[in-house]
Amino acid sequence: MPSVLNLKIIRFIRYRFFLFAGIFPYLLGQAAAFNTRRSFNWHNFYWGLLGIFLVLAGVELFNEYFDAQAGGDRIFALERPSVPGHFYVLGLSAFTLAFFIGLYLAYLTRWGILLFSFLGFLGAYFYVGPPFKWAYRGLGEIVIGLSYGPLMVLGSYYLQAGRIGIIPACASLLCGLSVFCLAILNEIPDYYQDRLVGKRNLVVRMGKQKAIKFLKLCFAVVFLLLTLGLLLNKIPAFAIVNFFLLPWLLKSLSVAEKNYDNPVMFRSAIDANVVIYLMIVSSISIGYLFL
């Protein structure tokens, strides 16, 4: 029973995190646009922020609904509650409102906004929704990385600047790969549930130990891209502060490697990587705004 409770706590943190984590890539795109244009449209910013929040809320509601249908969150539960059907209605309502906001913003700016909106919908709805079910086909982590990285950052930048550019594209890759790493880490506590319900994500396909080794490689690429971005002056110099997090990151990965079957200890690795992700995105945003 305690292990089930701990898994629920970790899952709660994960879901709440992804509800607000998408705000940070949006803010990064806005900061990059301000750095480029040295002007800012607050009207577009607030409407875009509302649209992003509705999309994120819709994503969470759809995930809860479709995961409940598959039984992934109830596989070890003593009681099997009914599927929360109203979650689907609420999620669809959130996406509908976000669509109309997208139409309004496209009318105010450029119609390219609708392309970003459409691609975002494909990732959000079909992440666990039929017929594609990206998360069940080993593509869910890639969808998360693209959605919370290039798609959201460049879409936000486009909202303010009316175009996309190489500088926000570089920042979006860092953002996307960082959240890609976090997505893999978050899947490790759910390994057995996901495997039993047929969710063939990367962790299930590779196994926990290989997934952590792959995670180390991905984080190495993150800091390699960070180094190249700083050397080539494609990201703000303030982002160098992230290298001070390296000892903490290495320690958290060591904890994850030794405790992948211990939810209590593994939670500290998740907490550390949430902070590292937020630090990477926030430091680049701050650099665009003030430096």
User: Cα–Cα distances in Å, from 64 out to 11, 27, 70, 129, 254?
Assistant: 11, 26, 10, 11, 31
Residue 68 to residue 90: CA distance in whole angstroms: 15
pLDDT digits (tens, 9 = 90+) for 10-58: 454 445 555 667 899 999 999 999 999 888 999 999 999 999 999 988 8
Residue 5 pLDDT class (50, 70, 90 cuts): very low
Tokens of 112: 């390219």
In 3D space, the residue among 178, 59, 176, 182 whose CA is nearest the CA of residue 129 turns out to be: 59
Give me the pLDDT at residue 167, please: 86
Interhelix angle 85-108/112-125, nearest 10 degrees: 170
What torsion, rounded to 10 degrees, do the Cα atoms 109, 110, 111, 113 define? -70
Measure CA 6 to chain center: 22
Q: Which residue has the higher pLDDT, 13 or 104?
A: 104
pLDDT digits (tens, 9 = 90+) for 212-241: 999 999 999 999 999 999 999 999 999 999
Residue 149 pLDDT class (50, 70, 90 cuts): very high
The residue type at 163: R
